[in-house]
């Protein structure tokens, strides 16, 4: 996209308003602050600068402008983020303005073409439309979610897209076609065939509303050894550990209701939206991951799982609940009639689903009720609660919440709170099992005191637009790419400092930085002297002795 168009979009938006639509911002002098959405923290270290229209987190070191913020928080590429910002600003994106990655662009375009093909096929598949209507889907809902049909043909989509000019490699890169290979690994005659055949198609959209993949549900009885669902493979645009089905439609309802409802399948989600609970999302092709939860945590801290009243669904979601609690999220449960799922409840009586979501109770209250109903004997109940409920109480990040539930457990079991607390403290921390860790600063050599002083000096000099001394000016060159972040840091630290004291602060910092530099040089010279003496190299040792004396004299002069 042309730089002029990008600047026009940015000029129409204010970063404080944009970030404030995702996070709860608090005024911090001339800037704004919040708890960082990109890593878990208790004390706000995420700052937004209206003066420079930028943001920076001093915890995980992420920072940038409007576009990079949307890229990070929505999990989008540059063009996806720009599309969202253009819609917010009322700016019309013109195709001629785009400068695209040709490979990614072709993947997005061929996926969009495939979605149109599947939608067109569904309009001619009477039996499939009748099945969807029987499951409770309206014609409008089918169109809203762009549902489709992949005919039971080996090369139906392949042939259609080849006629439109797409290459077999395009289809393979997009996950739409599978290359036929012999056991030797050499290509057989015939080349490729369709990945999705004889299946109801659910397009998968990213946060910007672009098709990035598909999930195909078998229609009718599945042949032996054929899975009920087939999903797109990992591609350059589709990552199943990050994508939540329906999130592109659920973002606004999640913010409006300050809660996200997690359901299991596509039909559960679609019927939930159709029934007025538009804050529902679902995973597709994988278990719920920490990346999914972190994405949701940027929109809300409240998650609602849907289980039937006997608690069977809880066992399947146990790992996800532990992860969510450990991330500081509030987890609640929408209770459904025994043996029913959200889709069946929505189809029968949407108001029951709405009521279940509205009256969702904390997951630990739910588990305590399930165990108490099952175990009437107090001793057996105490053992069952220890085995089934303690792991979740131990994951709570707030001591107030832990104390609340310890009191409830004590009342249900008759155990002293001290005994319960001791057992909870003995529970090991959760295994991450390869889950991604929250973003941290780049791993490398820890910054020295001299590095930290130089950062502070750079921020002050650039913020106040002072002319630094030659030695400092040379050192600041390597920090140029961090200029905005360091200025923001200086503003945050010194915004309440009277102007007449800022220069004194600068002089003190500059003196300390020079001392640290001399101290480091002196330590290096002393190390070199020791090595020369151990090697018996007297000329080198004498040179280092002279260097040590000169550096010591300079250091002592600075101390005066």
Supply the CATH number for residue 10's domain.
3.90.580.10
Same domain for 208 and 345, yes or no, is: no
Domain count for the chain: 4
Residue that finishes a domain, picked among 62, 97, 132: 97
Q: Which CATH number does the domain housing residue 347 bear? A: 3.40.1360.10
CB 244 within 8 A of CB 261: no
Question: 204 and 161, same structural domain?
Answer: yes
Q: Does residue 197 sit in the same domain as residue 210?
A: yes
pLDDT of residue 8: 84
225 and 85 housed in the same domain? no
Strand locations in 187-293, DSSP E?
Answer: 187-194, 199-205, 211-218, 229-231, 260-263, 280-282
Q: What is the pLDDT of residue 443?
A: 33
What CA–CA distance (Å, rounded) separates 391 from 172? 44
Q: Are residues 383 and 334 in the same domain?
A: yes
Q: Specify the pairing of strand 260-263 against strand 280-282.
A: parallel
Domain identity same for 114 and 202: yes
Residue 205's domain spans which residues?
102-231
Same domain, yes or no: 224 and 83: no
Cβ pair 131, 157 in contact under 8 A? no
Of 97, 129, 147, at which residue does a domain stop?
97
pLDDT at 172: 94
Pair 351, 458 in one domain: no
Pair 277, 321 in one domain: yes
**Cα(26)–Cα(11) distance, rounded to whole angstroms?**
23
pLDDT at residue 308 in the model: 67
Radius of gyration (C-alpha) of the chain in whole angstroms: 30
Considering the domain boundaries, does residue 337 fall inside one?
Answer: yes
The series of mean pLDDT values per 10 residues for the chain, 560 residues long, is: 72 90 86 84 86 86 87 78 84 61 86 97 96 95 96 94 95 93 49 93 90 93 76 93 91 88 93 96 86 87 82 74 91 89 93 95 92 91 93 91 94 93 85 39 53 85 86 87 82 76 82 84 84 86 86 74
pLDDT given for residue 180 in this prediction: 83
Do residues 307 and 454 both lie within one domain?
A: no
Of 55, 74, 97, which residue is a domain's last? 97
Q: Of 240, 211, 59, which Cα lies nearest the Cα of 145?
A: 211
Same domain for 485 and 410? no
Residues 177 and 117 in one domain: yes
């Amino acid at each position: 996209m042309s730089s002029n168009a990008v600047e026009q979009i940015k000029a129409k938006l204010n970063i404080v308003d944009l970030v404030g639509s995702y996070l709860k911002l608090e005024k911090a002098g001339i800037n704004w602050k919040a708890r960082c959405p990109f890593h878990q923290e208790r004390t706000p270290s995420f700052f937004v600068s209206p003066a420079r229209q930028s943001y920076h987190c001093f915890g995980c070191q992420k920072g940038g402008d409007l576009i990079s913020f949307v890229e990070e928080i929505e999990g989008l590429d540059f063009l996806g983020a720009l599309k969202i910002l253009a819609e917010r600003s009322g700016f019309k994106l013109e195709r001629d303005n785009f400068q695209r990655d040709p490979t990614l662009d072709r993947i997005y375009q061929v996926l969009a073409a495939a979605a149109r093909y599947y939608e067109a096929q569904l309009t001619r598949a009477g039996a499939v439309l009748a099945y969807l209507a029987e499951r409770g889907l309206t014609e409008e809902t089918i169109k809203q979610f762009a549902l489709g049909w992949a005919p039971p043909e080996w090369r139906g989509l392949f042939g259609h897209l080849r006629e439109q000019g797409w290459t077999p490699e395009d289809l393979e890169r997009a996950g739409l076609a599978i290359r036929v290979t012999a056991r030797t690994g050499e290509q057989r005659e015939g080349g490729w065939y369709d990945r999705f055949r004889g299946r109801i198609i659910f397009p998968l959209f990213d946060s910007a509303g672009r098709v990035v993949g598909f999930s195909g549900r078998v229609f009718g009885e599945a042949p032996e050894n054929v899975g009920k669902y087939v999903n797109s493979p990992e591609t350059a645009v589709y990552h199943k550990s990050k994508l939540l089905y329906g999130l592109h439609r659920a973002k606004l309802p999640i913010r409006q209701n300050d809660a996200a409802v997690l359901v299991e399948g596509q039909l559960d989600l679609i019927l939930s939206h159709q029934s007025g609970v538009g804050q529902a999302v679902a995973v597709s092709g994988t278990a719920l991951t920490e990346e999914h939860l972190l994405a949701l945590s940027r929109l809300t801290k409240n998650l609602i799982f849907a289980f039937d009243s006997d608690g069977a669904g809880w066992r399947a979601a146990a790992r996800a609940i532990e992860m969510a609690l450990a991330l500081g999220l509030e987890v609640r449960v929408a209770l459904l009639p025994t043996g029913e799922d959200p889709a069946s409840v929505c189809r029968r009586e949407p108001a029951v689903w709405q009521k279940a979501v509205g009256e969702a109770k904390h997951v630990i209250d739910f588990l305590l009720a399930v165990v108490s109903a099952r175990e009437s004997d107090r001793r057996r109940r105490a053992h069952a609660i220890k085995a089934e409920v303690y792991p979740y109480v131990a994951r709570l990040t707030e001591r107030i919440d832990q104390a609340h539930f310890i009191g409830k457990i004590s009342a249900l079991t008759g155990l002293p709170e001290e005994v319960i607390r001791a057992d909870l403290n003995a529970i090991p921390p959760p295994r991450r099992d390869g889950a991604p860790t929250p973003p941290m600063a780049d791993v490398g050599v820890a910054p020295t005191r001299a590095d930290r002083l130089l950062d502070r000096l750079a921020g002050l000099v650039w913020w106040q637009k002072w002319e630094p001394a030659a030695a400092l000016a040379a050192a600041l060159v390597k920090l140029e790419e961090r200029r905005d972040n360091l200025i923001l840091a200086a503003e945050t630290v010194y915004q309440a400092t009277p102007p007449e004291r800022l220069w004194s602060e600068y002089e003190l910092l500059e003196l300390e930085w020079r001392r640290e530099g001399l101290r480091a040089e002196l330590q290096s010279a002393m190390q070199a002297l020791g090595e020369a003496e151990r090697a018996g190299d007297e000329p080198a040792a004498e040179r280092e002795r002279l260097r040590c004396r000169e550096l010591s004299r300079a250091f002592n002069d600075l101390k005066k």
